[in-house]
Amino acid sequence: MSQVRTAPIEARVPRPSRPDVPDVSVCIANWNCVELLRKCLRSLFDQAQGARFEVVIADNGSTDGAADMVASEFPNVVLIRNSDNRGFARASNQAAAAARGRYFFFLNNDTLVPANTLRKFLDLAESRPDVGMFGPRLRGADGAFQISYRQRPTLAALLHRINLLRWTGLFRKAYYDYRRATFDPTQERSVEVLMGAAVFLSREVFEASGRWDEEYHFGVEDIDLSMQVSRRGPPMFVPQVEIVHYGRAAGRNNVHFAAPNVAIGYVHYFRKSGTSRAALFAYKALVTLDAPLQIGQKLLEAGWRSVTGRRVKARKSVLAVRGLWAFLRHELVRFWKA
C-alpha cells in the first residue's frame, strides 16, 4: 500500500474547522449485531457530544436486518452496504473513504459512547499534535476494566498458546507480558498497541500511516495500525476518556470467520515485521499440529462442563471447536500461504 508523504508530526498545526466539515467522523464496521449497533448509535445521537460529527457505517452483508435498521431509524448516518463480509479492515477503510471529518473515531459496534466523549478526544488531539493516536479506557458492561492496551506480540508469546508447548512453561512470561503485565487503567501513558475497539486519530495521520491493512480480515489489524502510526507519533492511552465495550460480539457471532482469520493475521503481522521464514515455518507447523489436539481437548472440556451443569462454559468450548474445525477444513491452505 502506498504511503502518503507528510511533514514531521511535530510541524503539523491543526487546521481550522469549517462549518460544513464535521470535526469527527465516527467510522463503524458492522456485521450482524443489530441490537448492539442500535444501542451504540443511540449513545452517540441521544447525548450531547460537544463536537460536530457524522457517523459512517460499512455493513458487511448483515443478515439480521442491521443495515435496514440503520436506514430506517438513523437516516442521517452514511450507510455503505456490502454484499458479503469483507472483514473489519476493508470495511473500516470504506467508511473512512466516505467520511468528511478532520478526525476519525474508529469504533466497534458493541460499544456505548458517553456524553462529550468526542469533545474530550477532539480537545486532546488539537492540543497534542505530537500524539499519533488516542485510545480510551475500556470498561465492560459489568463495570470491570478491560485491557485497553498491550505490548506488540512476539513469536515467543504466541508459542505459549500451543498446547504442545504450554505445559513446559517456557513461554509463559512472554505471553503474560504481551497480554496484560503492563496494564494500569489509571495512568495516561504512551503504549505500543491500542485496542481497536475505539481509536481516535487525525485524517492526516491515518492516511500517512497507510490506513488499515486489508490483508487482515479479522483480528490483529489494531496491532498493525498502532505499529504504523507510531512512526508519526506515539499511540496514547487516555483513561480520562472511557467507553463501555461489551466485547467480542462479532467473533462470537461468526466464529467460523473470526478464529481462522486471527490465526492468519498473526502470520501476516510477523512476516510484515521481519520474522524469518524459518521461524514462520516452524510456527505454522506447530499451529497446524496443535489444532487437532485442541479440538480433542475442547470436546472433552465441553462434555465435562455440560455434565457438571456449566452450560454457558460448555457452549464456549463448542464454539472453540467449531472455530478450530473451520480453520483446518477451510483456511489451512491460506494460513500456509500467508
**Residue 140 reports pLDDT greater than 80:** yes
Q: What is the CATH number of the domain that holds 225?
A: 3.90.550.10
- Positive/negative CA dihedral, 165, 170, 171, 177: positive
Same domain, 198 and 287: no
In a domain? residue 187: yes
Same domain, 310 and 166: no
The residue range of the domain holding 168 is 155-181
Q: Which residue has the higher pLDDT, 141 or 20?
A: 141
46: which residues sit within 8 A by CB, 6+ positions away?
none
In a domain? residue 261: no
- Give percent of the chain above pLDDT 70: 91
In a domain? residue 23: yes
Helices (H), the chain: 34-45, 66-73, 88-98, 117-127, 155-159, 163-166, 172-179, 203-208, 221-229, 249-253, 255-272, 277-307, 311-326, 332-337
Same domain, 167 and 121: no
Residue 21's pLDDT is: 87
**Residue 182 reports pLDDT greater than 90:** no
Same domain, 63 and 133: yes
For residue 10, name the pLDDT band (cuts at 50, 70, 90): very low
Torsion of CA 230, 232, 233, 239, to 10 degrees: -60
Structure confidence by residue, pLDDT tens digits, 51-83: 999 999 999 999 999 999 999 999 999 999 999
User: What would the DSSP string read from start to end of 8-74?
Assistant: -GGG--PPPP-TTS-SEEEEEEESS-HHHHHHHHHHHHSS--SS-EEEEEEEE--SSSHHHHHHHH-
- Positive/negative CA dihedral, 261, 266, 270, 273: positive
The residue out of 247, 266, 286 marking a domain boundary is 247
Same domain, 31 and 91: yes
Same domain, 93 and 135: yes
In a domain? residue 264: no
Average pLDDT value for residue range 11-29: 72
The least confident of 161-170, 173-182, 269-278, 280-289 is 173-182
Average pLDDT value for residue range 97-117: 97
Counted domains in the chain: 3
Average pLDDT of the chain? 90
Structure confidence by residue, pLDDT tens digits, 222-263: 999 999 999 999 999 999 999 999 976 554 556 767 788 899
In a domain? residue 269: no
- Give percent of the chain above pLDDT 90: 79
Same domain, 88 and 122: yes
Same domain, 68 and 166: no
For residue 218, name the pLDDT band (cuts at 50, 70, 90): confident
Same domain, 215 and 118: yes
Structure confidence by residue, pLDDT tens digits, 251-295: 455 676 778 889 999 999 999 999 999 999 999 999 999 999 999
In a domain? residue 262: no
